[in-house]
Amino acid sequence: MKMIRAIIRPEKEEEVLKSLELAGFPSVTKMDVLGRGKQKGIQIGTAIYDELVKTMILVVVEDSIVEKAMTAISDSARTGNFGDGKIFVSNVESSITIRTGIAA
């Protein structure tokens, strides 16, 4: 299994979640996060914002369908501008369902 962590623009959250659901990935975790990329934030006039509000979406999927989930995220999150976000993929060694205690 793999965990996909996608850091996206908050205004693209609904579109990304809908895209994931249509692609067969209804189970997600999402949270509001702060961060910055290579641009080290943005400057608007004299104000410098070095941390920007983003949304992080986490999805755990089988290895064979990682590309499908990543495509659903990237296609729906992309604006073509700086700050569209990043997708990270990492291994998941194990998981259990808390209610049943059964390995998922």
Show the CA angle centred on residue 77, arms to residues 47 and 93, nearest 5°.
Answer: 105
pTM recorded for the entire structure: 0.88
The 10s digit of each residue's pLDDT in 34-92 is 988 877 777 788 887 888 899 999 999 999 999 999 999 999 999 999 889 999 999 99
pLDDT, average across residues 16-45: 90
Q: Tokens standing for 45?
A: 């006039």
Q: What is the pLDDT of residue 37?
A: 80
Q: What is the pLDDT of residue 101?
A: 94
